[in-house]
Amino acid sequence: MNARTDGGSSAWWRRFADGALEFSIVGSFTRFGLLARRGLFDWEQSAAPPDLSGRVIVVTGATSGLGLEAARSFAGRGARVHLVGRDAGRLDRAVATLRRDTGSEMLATSVADMGELDQVRTLAGELRSRYQRLDVLVHNAGALLATRLVNSQGVEATVASQVLGPFLLTDLLLPLLQRTPGARVITVASGGMYAEKLDVDRLIMGPGEYRGSTAYARAKRAQVALNEEWASRTEGSGVTFHAMHPGWADTPGVARSLPRFRRILGRSLRSPAEGADTIVWLAISPEVLESNGLFWHDRAPRSTSYLPGTSMAPGEKARLWDWVRHELHDAADPAFVTAPSGRA
């Protein structure tokens, strides 16, 4: 029984302690929060079955950090894991590492930049041709860019790689996901999104106003909103959608993009494996199939807004959905098909 929802006498103080951690932010996002919750809710006793034999899992951004650790856990449980990354050499090294650490030979790779929509279409075609099922799609790719860049279509790179690309890949793989019982789509967002409100008109930052951390937080906020829309618009399809944030983890991306932040927090940062824990749990836990469209941290659903002024305006998620569809149609060939614009 889930310690958060059971009616036992000890449940109230566990929920209180968890809520206090969440309210503190630092206590929740650092390694301390994960270790505390692991003890509070006895994660080891509620671990999902380890055998993932026969399941197919695709992980984007899988060459390092959270993506590599999630892929390691899936491969170690016997899943067929397909790693997606931008660099062929780094993918080869990631596969070599996973084979050495897990002994798995069921590893495949595709080179694709999630911000380049033609490459996303090619990736989707490869996956559809290769697999008859897709159990889990993990959207993990995405970097915090200090300098404003654009993709080959002229779209700001943060939005292209973390909003448009994942939406397009999900859309093109949706029939494959729907053919697979219990299929899941997991989006790796960031706690940084709490600082920003969803505003479609301000999602793309221009050259004169661009700040990497703000662009990243806005894109992550958009990811969480789209996760909710996917869940609502595909209700009854058999596919569940969830987003999560990993807390503050010591990944290569953090070291590269936020070196001062990393120095200040030091050993209180989570390891990449600890940051990836909820990704893996969402991918394999049976109880996750009982819900849809939620935002998770440390194996529990969380509020999507805490700060004043960051609550979502009515209709803004639908505006975002329509804007993304419009952007993708502009960059697509006439055969491009997306999920229905009306709710199921």
Return the active site residues: 216
Residues of 168-182 as b/e, b for ≥16 C-beta within 10 angstroms? Answer: bbbbbbbebbeebee
Distance of CA 110 to the CA centre of its chain: 18
- 49, HSE (Cβ side, Cα atoms, 13 Å): 6
CB 237 within 8 Å of CB 344? yes
Residue closest to 178 by CA, chosen among 13, 14, 9, 339: 339
**Angstrom distance (rounded) from CA 151 to CA 230:** 25
**Angstrom distance (rounded) from CA 199 to CA 298:** 27
Q: At what angle do helices 65-76 and 88-102 cross, to 10 degrees?
A: 40
CB neighbours of residue 259 within 10 Å:
10
Q: At a CB cut-off of 8 Å and minimum separation 6, what does 60 contact? A: 67, 84, 85, 112, 114, 138, 139, 140, 141, 166, 169
CB 142 within 8 Å of CB 62? no
**Angstrom distance (rounded) from CA 239 to CA 137:** 11
